[in-house]
Amino acid sequence: MAVITIVGSGMMGSALAFPARENGNEVRLVGTHLDREIIDACIATNQHPKFERPFPAGVKYYQIESLDEALEGADFVIGGVSSFGVEWFGDKVLPAMKEGTPLLTVTKGLIDTPEGRLITYPDYWRGRLHEMGKQIPLNAIGGPCTSYELVAHDQSHVSFCGEDMEVLKFLKSAMETDYYHVSITGDITGIESAVALKNGYALGVALTIGLNQKTFGDDTLHYNSQAAVFGQATKEMSRLLKFQNADTLNNLCVGVGDLYVTVYGGRTRLIGILLGKGLSLEAAKKELRGVTLESLVVAERVARAVRKAIDRGELRAADFPVLLHIDEILTKGAEVRIPWEAFTYLES
């Protein structure tokens, strides 16, 4: 049995408490400073306010003020914050963690540097740890797995990535169940890039849903346009993985699987549909008030880096019509007009 401390009681961090506890581990769920009401509800009812079933018996709950207590004796820590909490996690949680305790983060995203390069969150935290003079094995989770389906025990397959295969084997043994299946790989950049890139492209596919609902009504079931953007998104993701020096079929499959599940459920689908229907970005955000929209941030960061790479002659604008159009919508308020003709090509 392992002692697992989860920091961040949002939906995915909390969902991971299910396989962790059902695998016989001691599980401690810590809320951030933004999660106070969630933890209060968990203490009172043993159930997350957004889940339809209670936590497995025995999960322990902590407010952020008790972080040190929750970290005491932990065999590893799961980072469950959103991408908006990456700096906070580096400031508050990493310094409190014991030297050598592995971190397994479920936070998805990329950071673009001033030079136009894309780095993963583990890379960012590695820099912070270097400044502290501290050693913590950094690992991450990627793959198609939504929180509510994990809670429902739907069959899910994810990848754990990290630098030390023995650590990854330990994490896999602690977390894997008969419904939560785990592959392990040493390619942090590949997995983390793949699952971050899908955010912007899921938004692109969802634009076509909104366009069709605007034209044919909300009950429409049109899939040709969705499939066309999905196919183009796969091409563009493959090119971006190559740009990240992470071009393998496994990485692409993880990213495409995550793209699929994000298109068919979640916050990115909602914002994409609203934009496709013709709402401005501000109007769409207002309608989804209170919903965390990480996909917008990731799309803008990736597009910024890609535009700089295009200026340097490392990439071609013609290879990224979906990404660049999404960027124009998000940063310039452009009207949604999918660049269909840019998808076509001639076999050489």
**How many structural domains compose the chain?**
2
Instruction: Please tell me whether residues 42 and 144 are part of one structural domain.
Output: yes
Question: Is residue 98, in this structure, part of any structural domain at all?
Answer: yes
Does residue 132 sit within a domain?
yes
Please report which confidence band the pLDDT of residue 266 belongs to, taking 50, 70 and 90 as the band edges: confident
Domain shared by 141 and 207, yes or no: no
Query: What digits encode the pLDDT tens for the residues 28-57?
Result: 999 999 999 999 999 999 999 999 999 999
Tell me the mean pLDDT in the region 276-293: 87
Do residues 67 and 202 share a domain?
no
Contact 267, 295 (CB under 8 A): yes
Residue type at position 280: S
User: Is this prediction's pTM over 0.95?
Assistant: no
98 and 235 both lie in a single domain: no
Domain co-membership, 169 together with 202: no
Contacts of 289 (CB under 8 A, 6+ apart): none
Q: Are 91 and 65 in contact (CB under 8 A)?
A: no
Strand partners, 140: 105, 161
The CB density around residue 6, as the number of other CB atoms within 10 Å, is: 27
Indicate whether 348 belongs to any domain: no
Is the backbone of residue 116 left (phi > 0), alpha (psi -120 to 50) or beta? left
How far is CA 289 from each of CA 209, 285, 292, rounded to the nearest angstrom?
21, 6, 8
Helix H or strand E segment including 118: strand 118-120
Same domain, 62 and 36: yes
89 falls within a domain: yes
Task: Tell me: do 95 and 120 sit in the same domain.
Answer: yes
Domain boundary among 155, 186, 217: 186
For residue 299, what pLDDT is reported?
A: 93
Residue 282 near residue 218, CB atoms below 8 Å = no
Residues 250 and 326 in one domain: yes
Residue 45, domain member (yes or no): yes
**Does residue 101 share a domain with residue 195?**
no
Q: For a pLDDT cut of 70, what percent of the chain falls above it? A: 99
- Show which of 186, 212, 240 is a domain's final residue: 186
Q: Which domain holds residue 193?
A: 189-343
| pLDDT tens track for 201-216 | 999 999 999 999 999 9
Average pLDDT over residues 275-285: 94
Whether the predicted pLDDT of 220 surpasses 80: no
Q: What's the confidence (pLDDT) of residue 348? A: 57
**pLDDT interval class at 249 (50, 70, 90):** confident
pLDDT digit string (tens) for 113-161? 999 999 999 999 999 999 999 999 999 999 999 999 999 999 999 999 9
Could you read off the pLDDT of 11-35 as tens digits, one per residue? Answer: 999 999 999 999 999 999 999 999 9
68 φψ region: left (φ > 0), alpha (ψ -120 to 50), beta (else): alpha
What is 130-186 written as a DSSP string?
HHHT----EEEEESS--HHHHHTT--EEEEEEES-HHHHHHHHHHH--SSEEEEEES
Higher pLDDT, 346 or 185: 185
Locate tokens 């002659």: which residue?
313
| In a domain? residue 279 | yes
- Report the CATH number at residue 110: 3.40.50.720
The verdict on 85 and 227 lying in the same domain is no
Residues 205 and 181 reside in one and the same domain: no
Would you call 292 helix, strand, or coil by DSSP?
coil
Last-in-domain residue among 140, 170, 186 = 186
Q: Tell whether 162 and 138 lie within a shared domain.
A: yes
| pLDDT tens figures, 78-115 | 999 999 999 999 999 999 999 999 999 999 999 999 99
CATH number, domain containing residue 225: 1.10.1040.10
Which pLDDT score is estimated for 347? 67
